[in-house]
Chain A
Amino acid sequence: NAGVMQNPRHLVRRRGQEARLRCSPMKGHSHVYWYRQLPEEGLKFMVYLQKENIIDESGMPKERFSAEFPKEGPSILRIQQVVRGDSAAYFCASSPQGLRGMNTEAFFGQGTRLTVV
């Protein structure tokens, strides 16, 4: 059973371009969470999704950022018109389906390190 897979591991974008970060949860997991970690900072919650639904996006910037978790395929975190301040490590985590997902471990991917030049 593969762990949480994130790709790419490293992404370089010029200011104004779009960044698309992918997260494939562990098999059987239908809860996905995205976090951002700025240099020398803690992990900040961005968004919590279940299949085809956004449950909590209270940590997501209102503009340029969006997330989805379609019925088929990975979860995508999309950043439009990137700026230097978006440079960070973006981590995805997953946990099992249903309410039991609340009572079980969340497992993290290795992250995508976004650099905006």
Chain B
Amino acid sequence: KQEVTQIPAALSVPEGENLVLNCSFTDSAIYNLQWFRQDPGKGLTSLLLIQSSQREQTSGRLNASLDKSSGRSTLYIAASQPGDSATYLCAPRGSQGNLIFGKGTKLSVKP
């Protein structure tokens, strides 16, 4: 059974800092992994999709890496902004087809 852990659970940084969010998963037999953000009371917004054959995927100030064999992914956010404040969720997609979520990292970027 896939289990996903995200560290840290919460993070508070001043504006402009670069930061790294960590995700680990127990079953490395995945098709891909998605990173999402969730704003309070809202749905999930897809940020990046990284395929199992890929090492990295970039979108703007975001960069996701994947080390499938060790069951780890990181999300790097460059030059953080207050608008980046949200909960960030990682979700590997396994052979069953569904996404399994961690509890997320709650990010707060202070102006």
Contact = CB atoms under 8 A, between A and B. Distances in A.
A22 interface: no
Given A55-B97, A103-B31, A108 B104 contact: no
Contacts of A31: 97
A91 interface: yes
Interface residues of A, number: 25
B41 to A, nearest CB: 8
B27 to A, nearest CB: 14
A42 B104 contact: yes
Interface in A16-59: 31, 33, 35, 41-45, 48, 55-56, 58
B43 interface: yes
B97 A108 contact: no
Main secondary structure of the interface of B (DSSP, over half): strand
18 contacts: A31-B97, A42-B104, A44-B101, A45-B98, A45-B100, A45-B101, A48-B96, A56-B98, A58-B96, A101-B97, A103-B31, A105-B34, A105-B46, A105-B49, A106-B34, A106-B93, A108-B36, A108-B44
A104 B36 CA distance: 14
A56 B96 CA distance: 7
B28 interface: no
Contacts, number: 58
A44 B104 CA distance: 12
Interface string B4-29: 00000000000000000000000000
The 10 closest A-B pairs by CB, nearest first: A42-B103, A108-B44, A110-B43, A43-B101, A48-B98, A105-B49, A102-B31, A108-B43, A42-B101, A45-B98
A48 B96 CA distance: 9
Contact residues on B (Cβ < 8 Å of other chain), bracket: 20 to 34
A47 B74 CA distance: 27
Interface in B33-77: 34, 36, 42-46, 49, 51
Interface string A71-111: 00000000000000000000101000000011111111111
